[in-house]
Every structure is written in C-alpha cells, then in structure tokens.
Amino acid sequence: MSLQKPAVFCNMAFDWPVLHWNVTYLAKLLAGKRIHFRFGKKDMDTAPLFETECSYVEATLEEFLAWTGRQTSCSSGPFSGYDLCKYWTYADYKYIAQLLEDKPENFQDIRWSDFGFSGRNGRESTLWIGTAGANTPCHLDSYGCNLVLQVQGRKRWHLYPPEDSGCLYPTRIPYEESSVFSRVNVVNPDLKSYPQFKKAQAHVITLDPGQVLFVPRHWWHYVESIDPITVSINSWIELDADHEARIEEAITRTLICAIKPAEDPGASDSWLNPTEAEVTSHETNLRYLNSAVSAYLEHQKTSRIDHRTPGTHGPEGILQDLCKRRKLQVNAELESLKSEPCESNRTDIKMKSLGGNPFGQSLFQVLPQSQETNPTGTAEHDCKDPLRENDGHCAGKMSVTAKDSAPFVDQEDPSCCASAPQTVICTNDLLDCVLNPQVISLMAHLLMERASV
C-alpha cells in the first residue's frame, strides 16, 4: 500500500488455482448460465465509446466460444448479428459472488490474502471476459485501489496519475456511481477539441497471464484486450479515504439526479450508465448524503479516540465491510442506507518506509512512456487546472463559439441579434463544470465543516 504508483507483481499468483480459469473451464463451471455481453465496433473513432452507446446480448459462455471459434451453430444464436471481424464483445464487471453463488467453494481459488488482505478471495472479486479490441473507457474510480490478475490472454493498460486530471477532461456523463470518465479517447485523441491532453503522461503496460497489476487510488486507466480471448479478475480494495469519497459521490448523485430528469421528463435515460439501476429520488439521495456525512464524522471521531491519523488523504487503513458502492444495484443499497450510516470494522495497515528501491525482478514499476528506459527519471507535468486557466475549457469541451468571452446580450433587443454570438451551452456542459471533481471536493469540505459545528 506504500507504493502509491502502478506496479506489476510477477510471482504472487503462480500457485493460485484461478490460473486455470480460462474460458473453456469457465464455460463448464458456469454450466450454461446466461450473462450479459457488451458489443462495440472495432472502428477507431476519436470519441470514447461509452457503455450507453454499446449494444448488449445475453448468452452463455458456450455460445461465446462458438462465436469466437466461428462455428456454424452460431449463425442463429445471440451473436448472429455481429461479425467477429467488425465487433468486439465484453462480459465485464461480473461479480463472482453472484456467478458462483451455488459454488462458493471456488471462491478459494483466488487468494488476495497473499497480498495481506486477510480473508479476501473470489467473493470480493469481479470477472472480465473479452475479445480483441474490447475496452473500458478511460476513467478513474472514486473509491479504493485496485488489484488485477490476468488469467488468459493479454491486456494493455494506459494509466495516468491523479495530477493529470486537468488534461483528461473529466465528466460524469454518462453517470455511474464511483466512476469519473474522461471525454478523451486516449488511444486516438482529438487534440483540437482537447488540447491539454497532449501534456498528460501515459504509463503503459501490457499485462501477461499470471501477473498482478496494482492500480493506486485515483489513477486514470483505459484498458483494452489485445489477444483473441482475455480473462482477468480484479478486486477493489477499500480505503479510509473512501469515507470522504462517499460524501462526494452522494453530492454528485443528488445534483445529477435533480438536473438531468428536469431537462426533459419524457426523455430516455441515455445519460445513465447501464450499470445503474434507476434514477433515485431527491429524498433518497439526501438521505444517503446525510448517512455519508454521519459515517465520515463517526470515522473521524473513532480515529481521534484511537490516536490514529484520519485516513482522509491516504491509504492508511482498509474498510472490510464492502461499503464501496461499485456497479451494484443502487436502489437496493440506497434502501439499506436510508435509516442508518455506513459502519465498518477497520483493519489498519501501518505504512512503512520503503527503505530504498522496492522494485526488482519480481516487482516492477509501471513507468511513464518516455521513461521506460530510464527507471530513475521523473516525469514533467504541465497540466493546467481547468478551473484556474482560461483556455476555453471547463473540465470538458464546451460547445461554444470562439467569441464566448463576449458580454451577455439582451435577447429582447433586436439591434443586438445581428452581432450576438451563437452560444449553445447544453445541460451536459453545465454539469461538466458543476460536477468537476475539484468543485465537488470543495462542496464536500464545506458540508463537512458545516456538519461538524
């Protein structure tokens, strides 16, 4: 936990039974269970392909294998409308606890306890199965840090440090609990629309089977499958800093659920990611916000009593109660949080000094691209803060003409109309500013100060 930089572990999982979980094995293990697959075109566009723009089918892994093997039996199945040469597919974010609820003995095949997280196994893990080209849009996770084991095939990870957030044009559209997306397609960027991205420092690594990648808190990442079939398993590790992050996420949900439905009550929920159950009511969102603030204050109180430094800004401890709300059925969890704050039993991790270079043959740091041959180098960052620099952007591309600095024009004065700049600021442009992570963080601190009085 003291690394705080992306790193790859080479020898931690060599004896884990889960390394046998290739797709053929999983097809037998799941015994015909139907799961959702997401489809996208392999054509490379300059815009990110968000999950709201993908198509979906429900199928078994046997049908998936038939499709990837180009068997004739697939001509009338759920994959029949998709040409393997033109489309990729992804069975992503599949919770193993749900997939194998009738086979809990298989949870022990995954041994995150080897990393020091006692008792953590497949029950707290997620399965990912994809074909070449399958990808996750660039985003950061609001909660925790991430451990990822590659089981079959290879995946390429593009990682960016938290300080590059201004270069990645964060957005909460589409909205998903705990995910802040980038408006940039990092592998084919539109630098005319997002000029600051050229200053972002990419850390790129190809993860091979048997290797485990550590993704630190708030590191941006874009992930793509590069082999015909890939299987990976991850676990999000909860941190003390998540107490404050829950307040920020509660503010975000309250604001976006109040503003977007008001735009057009009859419109479809295209702004809501498919992983989100529904638009929750304002009353429910406020209750969760109050619960999150209460939990944070209780955590701070407990930390002071125990003479521990509050874990607001670093990974000093782990929350073992799985309060992190990542791609869960939101409505069900919000119901459980209405009447009481989130509580946890904390297991503290004492952060030790690294005492020199911890990297070596079995543990290596994921370096910036320009430093791949220079392990001792340091990256130069010059990302302008979109809230402080007037470069025509506010955490995302604003659909405004070049004369957007002109004064406000009275629309009732006909004499002004001829020379008035044609501005087209939509709700999403407004939300990209209001829900910018820096703005939400400031709001959370003001709320915490108010609540602690």
Q: Quick one: which of 129, 130, 134, 139 has its CA closest to 42? A: 134
DSSP 126-174: EEEEEETT-EEEEEEESSSEEEEEEEES-EEEEEE-GGGGGGS-EE--S
Residue 30 lies in a domain: yes
- Last residue of some domain: 237, 260, 284? 237
Residue 183 lies in a domain: no
What tens digit of pLDDT does each residue of 98-111 get? 999 999 999 999 99
112 shares its domain with 252: no
- The domain spanning residue 57 has which CATH number? 2.60.120.650
11 shares its domain with 96: yes
pLDDT at 354: 54
For the chain, residues with pLDDT lower than 70 are 72-74, 76, 265-269, 306-357, 371-422
228 shares its domain with 281: no
271 shares its domain with 222: no
210 shares its domain with 287: no
Q: Which residues pair with 237 in a beta bridge?
A: 145
Residue 320 lies in a domain: yes
CA–CA separation, 345 vs 343, rounded Å?
7
pTM: 0.81
How buried is residue 119: exposed, middle or buried, by Cβ count under 10 Å (0-12/13-18/19+)?
exposed
CB 237 within 8 A of CB 213: no
User: What is the domain extent for residue 250?
Assistant: 242-352+430-452
pLDDT at 359: 83
298 shares its domain with 321: yes
pLDDT at 293: 97
Domain total of the chain: 2
267 shares its domain with 329: yes
CB 68 within 8 A of CB 228: yes
Residue 389 lies in a domain: no
pLDDT at 369: 86
Residue 2 lies in a domain: no
Reported as type and span, the H/E element at residue 23 is: helix 23-30
Residue 326 lies in a domain: yes
- What phi and psi, each to the nearest 5 degrees, are found at residue 128? -135, 125
Residue 365 lies in a domain: no
